[in-house]
Amino acid sequence: MTATDTRIHRRIDVELGDRSYPVHIGSGVRHLLAEKIAEIGAQRVAVVSARPRDTLPETGVPTLYLEARDGEEDKNLATVDRMCRAFAEFGLSRADAIVSVGGGTTTDSVGLAAALYHRGLPVIHLPTTLLAQVDASVGGKTAVNLPQGKNLVGQYWQPSAVLCDTDYLDTLPKREWTNGYGEIARANFIGAGDLRGLPLEEQIAASVARKAEIVAADERDTGLRHILNYGHTLGHALERATDFALRHGEGVAIGTVFAGLLAGALGRIGPERVAEHLEVVRSYDLPYRLPAGAGTAELIALMRLDKKATSGLAFVLDGPLGAELVSGVPESVVAGVLDAMEREH
């Protein structure tokens, strides 16, 4: 890419005082990496990448390259341990920086390694999946899984920059697109506006811009940031009920349809807005029916385990004031909505 090309892209700033950072979105923006490393003043970097070496941009400084593998199996403390040992062998110091290249599982685990190594090194994320570009790489949540559950060990560690290069999306398999579009569909209902039909880059930018506002207002997830989990309560339950055969974004898509129906059943929104949920999800060619094997009682039991559900069932629901966390939702209403939803045969 030429210097001229890098100017044709979108830039969103996550405003967090002296920890503010830009998110660049567009074709070829990964080539801003050397400039970003120079801005940080890093002497050397470690690039941890789930993408082939020939797709990686220049860093402009001496670089350690480490291979990563996207996927939940490698998102664990052993991977963080391996990365930190390699950083130490290379002699990575507090004057240096770390770069992650990959999907959300890679940006999450490299982000955690960056937060821990030398008690915190600057990290730049180059997310390469749609899901990671619109959600996972922005906002500073880093974590790995334990056998007892997902994301149980983590840290808030904001990156110094995020480079969402849309060229990386060219080779994504169809289900990875679906995964990312699930999060974009839910962004339609948390204040990002109607994104249907916009060019992809604008949909990513609008989703990131809304997330940036939310993170700036509630970095530590004590209130407003919950709304990013729109559609996720049922989504997570569906992932677990199907033993993760259903991908995250697919679960979120079905969960978004459910959230609309539930908000309607509770009188929070009218029938047109309820219908809009299904329309938006279907416009992205996303699943909207409950999977065949997922029974109402099992889904309710799983939704009771949701971390937002401190008393009874809790959901992020649309309403007169926009999306907000609604606690103590009666089980009978939830069961009625689930029973009325279409199911796969």
- State in angstroms the smallest separation of the CB of 216 from ligand GLY: 12
Interface stretch with ligand GLY, choices 50-58, 198-206, 220-228, 263-271 (CB under 6 A): 220-228
Burial of 201 (0-12, 13-18, 19+ CB in 10 A): middle
Closest to ligand GLY by CB, 85 vs 307, is 307
DSSP 8-state symbol, 33: H
CB of 161 to ligand GLY, least distance (A): 17
Buried b (16+ CB within 10 A) or exposed e, 279-314: ebbeebebbbebbeebebeebbebbeebebbeeebb
Residue 225 makes contact with ligand GLY by CB under 6 A: yes
Contact present, 43 and 63 (Cβ < 8 Å): no
- Nearer to ligand GLY by Cβ, of 16 and 266: the residue is 16
Based on CB atoms, which residue is closest to ligand GLY, 33 or 136?
A: 136
Q: How far is the CB of 301 from ligand GLY (least distance, A)?
A: 23
Kindly state the smallest distance separating residue 125's Cβ from ligand GLY, in Å.
13
Q: Three-state SS for 151?
A: strand
In this complex, which beta carbon is closest to ligand GLY, that of residue 37 or of residue 134?
134
Query: C-beta of 82: minimal distance to ligand GLY in Å?
Result: 25
Nearer to ligand GLY, 135 or 165 (CB): 135
Residue 229 Cβ vs ligand GLY, minimum distance, rounded to whole Å: 6
3-state helix/strand/coil string of 70-128: CCHHHCCHHHHHHHHHHHHHHCCCCCCEEEEEECHHHHHHHHHHHHHHHHCCCEEEEEC
What is the distance between the alpha carbons of residues 146 and 2, in angstroms, rounded to a whole number? Answer: 43
Stretch of residues binding ligand GLY (CB under 6 A), selected from 161-169, 221-229, 255-263, 309-317:
221-229
In the bound complex, what is the minimum distance in angstroms from residue 160's beta carbon to ligand GLY? 18
Q: Cα(177)–Cα(156) distance, rounded to whole angstroms?
A: 27
Place of tokens 């797709």: 55
Contacts of 305 (CB under 8 A, 6+ apart): none
End-to-end CA distance of the chain: 48
* Closer residue to ligand GLY in complex, CB, 107/160: 107
How near is the Cβ of 208 to ligand GLY at its closest, in Å?
Answer: 11
Q: How far is the CB of 334 from ligand GLY (least distance, A)?
A: 22
CB-nearer residue toward ligand GLY: 14 or 124: 14
Torsions phi, psi for 15 (to 5 deg): -90, 105
Site string for ligand GLY, 166-205 (x = CB under 6 A): ----------------------------------------
d(CA 319, CA 324): 8
Binding string, residues 109-148; x marks residues near ligand GLY by CB under 6 A: --------------------------x---x-x-------
Number of residues that bind ligand GLY (CB under 6 A): 6
Our CB check for ligand GLY shows the closer of 47 and 326 to be: 326
Q: Which is nearer to ligand GLY, 70 or 135 (CB)?
A: 135
**Is residue 133 within 8 Å of residue 126, measured between CB atoms?**
no
CA distances from 35 to 6, 42, 62, 108, 115 (A): 11, 11, 14, 23, 22
Residues that bind ligand GLY (CB under 6 A): 135, 139, 141, 221, 225, 228
